[in-house]
Chain A
Amino acid sequence: MKGNEAIGEAAIRAGCRYYFGYPITPQNELTAYMSKRMEEVGGVFIQAESELAAINMVYGASAAGGRAMTSSSSPGISLKQEGISYMVGAELPGVVVNICRGGPGLGNIAPSQSDYFQATRGGGHGDYYTIVLSPSSVQESADLVFLAFYLADKYRNPVIILGDGFLGQMLEPVEFKNPAFGRLPRKRWALTGAKERPPNVIRSLYLKEGVLEKRNWELSKKYERMKKEVRYEGIYLDDAEFIVVAYGICARISKASVLLLRAHGLKVGLIRPITLWPFPSGVIKEVRDKIKRFFVIEMNLGQMVEDVKLAVEGRTSVSFYGRPGGGVPTPEEIYKVIKDGKGYF
């Protein structure tokens, strides 16, 4: 199955019945898939007039208690930031998929990791975080969709799935495993009509002095709880002298390089963050004093490398190798960078 379609199917199986989209490459298969499948399962599909409308339909559907999702690619995700910020402010769950492409501006339609900062730093206006999940295969794309809906409901916060054009387009076998997550509380806050209860209000405006500050401190406690959801994959960390840090498709490629380097006797390990926010700083702190150097590989000008450096706190060297604007490195390329110690900064 194509990555984009696997995401759609997983969403349906996770109980998503409201999908709102707007066409953009390289995620069009997802919108097309949902237009067909929502009809089959009796759900709602709307091709919105813009990404602004689409995310605000998600906002409305979620406010009414529905499991809702939208997807897009970088330029469209920029437009969705308004709605994502409002969702966080109003504590509404929802899943936003970004099949990232090259930027800035219209950029290109090649796979890229150019939106890491935007995804992990809130992205829209205000002072907030969203959980950001980063799959590196079609299977994991599907798995993380189930998780995304669960976490969104658990924390009443939007969850971002940050893929890229490669993952969206790639064909791989996939199995839909609907995991048994913990029980979720009833959505007593949802707009269902004020029957036998006082009216519910969904809002993010708090004008009175001090009220918003207090509320944001409350939200910050929630972000702290969300940090417990950190997930990563680590390989060869026990004896590693060098560690590659990469996520998404770039981690998949880097894994091949690590195996190649190992075959040539270099003690290289790999840390692959699965949650980009919360960032797996813990594991980096655990290994930082034992190793000679981190190599951060990204398909951008160097964004996650800042999080790695924050976790390293200057205790060891951190090098970066990146391919911006839709460039995709090969395993040999990364192998060379690490083997020869050249080409990075």
Chain B
Amino acid sequence: MEKAIFKRPESLYETPFHYCPGCGHGIIHRLIAEVIDEFGIRERTIGTAPVGCAVLNYDYFNFDVCECAHGRTPAVATGIKRVRPKSVVFSYQGDGDLAAIGIAEIIHTALRSERITAIFVNNCVYGMTGGQMAPTTLLNQKTQTTPFGRDPKKAGFPLRVCELLATLDGATYIARTALNNPKNVLKTRESIKKAFLTQIEDVGFSLVEILSPCPVNWKLSPVDSIKWMKERMIPYFPLGEFKTPFAK
């Protein structure tokens, strides 16, 4: 008998993603879906759809999803989780959503050690609105609103979210991973697993920041985007676990 060793996770519908070529959202959706399947929690998972490129993620996720206002995702997830403490609730957020307009919500959700998991997609740019500067845009990086490159004197410095959240007592599992090669994709999956486990075991708040390519708005080919991640992004946003309740 043949044994399927690679198939579509049940937590994903059989629908092609609409994301741009080389975008990381599709990979991240799949990793989340795989982890949910692995834990067997699809029927008690409640996800969120953020304002951003992933707003239609409920077209792909085969479980309950709540669309949220821009940046308010952790507050909405908090409301859901408090009503359904046995559910597994995750917020899915871009860097504009989480690190700019919703920075207050993510900090306070972490401070309350809310039993939710934040999946934080850092692509150094506002994707959906056409590539404006994000809080995570690197210095000298050109975007639609930093046409001469991000100048810290005018536009401030990039925000390292994991390092910030790791200072908070309520933050329990905080990790940064990247999608720049298969090995790191697998590490991302591992981190998502630990983050969900932190929630399932009722240990505390968890967040995985995933460095994710956005070739279209970076104005690079998908291949050059991967290079750019390694050469520019990862040096500024070092990978690793910043806080963990698990033995290393």
Contact = CB atoms under 8 A, between A and B. Distances in A.
B55 A193 contact: no
A53 B75 contact: yes
Interface in B62-77: 62-69, 72, 75-77
B233 interface: no
Contacts of A205: 55-56, 67
Interface string B46-59: 10010000011010
B49 A203 contact: yes
Contact of B76 (A46, A60, A193, A200): A60
Contact of A60 (B56, B65, B79): B79
B81 to A, nearest CB: 8
Interface stretch (B37-45, B170-178, B186-194, B204-212): B37-45
B163 interface: no
A57 B78 contact: yes
Contacts of A192: 64, 84, 87
Interface string A82-118: 1100100010000000000000000000000000000
Interface size class of A (residues with CB under 8 A): 35 or more
Given A59-B76, A202-B66, 20 more contacts: A44-B82, A46-B78, A48-B75, A49-B105, A56-B75, A56-B79, A57-B76, A60-B75, A60-B76, A60-B77, A64-B46, A64-B79, A66-B83, A83-B72, A191-B66, A193-B46, A195-B43, A199-B64, A202-B65, A203-B67
Contact of A194 (B42, B49, B80): B42
Main SS class of interface, B: helix
B11 to A, nearest CB: 10
Contact of A50 (B43, B104, B112): B104
A61 B79 contact: yes
Interface in A228-275: none
Given A52-B75, A56-B75, A193 B65 contact: no
A169 to B, nearest CB: 29
A61 B85 CA distance: 11
A200 B49 CA distance: 13
Interface string B18-53: 000000000000000000000000111110010000
